[in-house]
Amino acid sequence: MSKRIPRGEREGLRLEFKEAAALDDPRKISREVVGMLNADGGVIWVGVREKDGWAVEIEPLSRPRDEQRRLLDSLIDTIEPSLTGRELDIKILTEEEKAVLRIEVIPNPSKKPYAFLREGGRHFVVRVGDRIRSMTREEILQDQPLLIDDRTKAIHKVVAEQKKMQEKLQKNHGGLFWLRLQPSADGALDLTKLEESDLLIDPTLSGNSRTGANFVRAYLSGKQLPALGQDEFGQALTSGVEDGYFLAVYRDGGLRFTAPLRSFWLNPHDAAARGSERLLWPYDLMGYPVSIFRLARSIFSDETLWEANPPPGTALVTHMAFFNLRGWMLRAGSPRSDWWESQRPQEKTYEAEDFVLNPPLVFDLNEVVEPDQDRCALRLVRRVYEDGFGLFGYQIPEELDQKRVA
């Protein structure tokens, strides 16, 4: 397929054009990618406007590198089975100082059929000519894999725990944030050495701030130091109080963290006076997941803490839920903007009872131990904005993407 920006070409089985505005809701691009994955692959151009199927005009992207990264994260999060670098290649192409994105789609026949995830469901589509149609039941079933791999087992494990937590939590509870990380392959973490390392006591040892929204509040609030023991999900080093601030690190390398929803208030001291006592503070929304992923990075990158390290190729399945979220609000834009308070920009109220990540995200363990592991947390936050509150990716505070708040 051509690697120059197309002009005057027509859409077809292996060619699709999307205007720049499509990046406002990248889930629409997920549908096109899945259609090609279930057919013969192809190329999608983002930033090329079409008319009657013909490429007529280049619409340059203002921040192509940021858009490239955000789009890749969104596609990885909203397409099943999990994509690899061989199936998807997103490049920035520039002509006459005009930048667009070129998405090359290369299906892996052994992984078909692919699905895109939206509104809690899995949608199977296939590209036919220059159009997309839903797949038939027979088409979906004919290539379904029969084997359950380690990642799928880990997903089933964390989903079962989420449902158990959901059933356990009373509806009159003030609300709870729940985050769970589970390796797809078991290691053997030396919990005694972890306890001696002070990683769970001093947040700066894992690159976190000493104060603010991080996992250390789990035991500082209750004056409880981490202790070895057994909870309902396995042998663990735990601190805090169940159904409140709580942290558990399991022998197999899994982590579980909870925090009361009240800790996400805009400002617990004067929010009630402004009527914003149920407005999620975006810096805390980012801060808690960032702190957990930084802790995970410190644990998984320190070989001295392990009796047996997780094997190569291990994934880290990540699940998240906000229980009793009904009535809470999330505001578009940045608190650092002058207009954020005075003009009261777009707010969305959560109408359902609970927000549950569907499906859980799957990270390669290498993504977590790299210095840029904060992107894992950003992908979770993006799902809250987009799937939970119906906001777009560009409405996330820009500084969260630049990781200046953790």
Contacts of 338 (CB under 8 A, 6+ apart): none
Spatial separation of the C-alpha atoms in residues 209 and 134, rounded to whole Å: 48
163: phi then psi, degrees, rounded to nearest 5: -65, -35
Query: Which of 102, 106, 82 has its CA nearest to residue 92?
Result: 102
Does 122 or 165 have the greater pLDDT score?
Answer: 165
Beta strands in 261-387 (DSSP E): 306-308, 315-323, 329-331, 347-349, 355-356, 361-364
Beta strands in 309-386 (DSSP E): 315-323, 329-331, 347-349, 355-356, 361-364
Query: For the segment 329-359, what is each residue's pLDDT rounded down to a tens digit?
Result: 998 888 887 767 665 667 889 999 999 998 8
Which helix (H) or strand (E) segment is 58 a member of?
Answer: strand 54-58
Indicate the pLDDT class of residue 406, thresholds 50, 70 and 90: very low
Task: For the chain, give the mean pLDDT.
Answer: 85
Q: Per-residue pLDDT averaged across 166-185, rounded?
A: 88
Spatial separation of the C-alpha atoms in residues 161 and 234, rounded to whole Å: 12
Provide the 3-class DSSP secondary structure of residue 122: strand
Indicate the pLDDT class of residue 218, thresholds 50, 70 and 90: low
Contacts of 381 (CB under 8 A, 6+ apart): 282, 285, 286, 289, 396, 400
Provide the 3-class DSSP secondary structure of residue 211: coil
The overall longest dimension of the chain from CA atoms, in Å, is 68
Architecture of domain 15-142: 2-Layer Sandwich (3.30)
Cis bond upstream, residue 81 (ω within 30): yes
Number of neighbours of residue 138 by Cβ within 10 angstroms? 7
Is the distance from CB of 345 to CB of 332 less than 8 angstroms? yes
Indicate the pLDDT class of residue 194, thresholds 50, 70 and 90: very high
Contacts of 39 (CB under 8 A, 6+ apart): 13, 107, 126, 127, 128
Number of neighbours of residue 391 by Cβ within 10 angstroms? 20
Type of residue at 66: D
Q: Per-residue pLDDT averaged across 4-12, rounded?
A: 85
Confidence at residue 267, expressed as pLDDT on a 0 to 100 scale: 60
Indicate the pLDDT class of residue 402, thresholds 50, 70 and 90: low
234: phi then psi, degrees, rounded to nearest 5: 140, 180
Token pair recorded at residue 187: 């290691």
Query: For the segment 137-166, what is each residue's pLDDT rounded down to a tens digit?
Result: 777 777 555 445 788 888 889 999 999 888
Token pair recorded at residue 243: 């159904």
Q: Map out the domains of the chain as residue ranges.
A: 15-142, 150-401
Spatial separation of the C-alpha atoms in residues 383 and 74, rounded to whole Å: 9
Alpha helices per DSSP H over 38-91: 64-78
What is the edge-to-edge ordering of all strands in the sheet holding 121-123?
79-80, 115-118, 121-123
Token pair recorded at residue 270: 């004067």
Spatial separation of the C-alpha atoms in residues 256 and 249, rounded to whole Å: 7
Provide the 3-class DSSP secondary structure of residue 167: helix
Instruction: Label the pairing between strands 121-123 and 115-118.
Output: antiparallel
Number of neighbours of residue 19 by Cβ within 10 angstroms? 14
Indicate the pLDDT class of residue 221, thresholds 50, 70 and 90: very low
Cα–Cα distances in Å, from 52 out to 7, 17, 56, 132?
14, 11, 9, 16
Spatial separation of the C-alpha atoms in residues 122 and 117, rounded to whole Å: 5
Indicate the pLDDT class of residue 387, thresholds 50, 70 and 90: confident
Confidence at residue 273, expressed as pLDDT on a 0 to 100 scale: 43
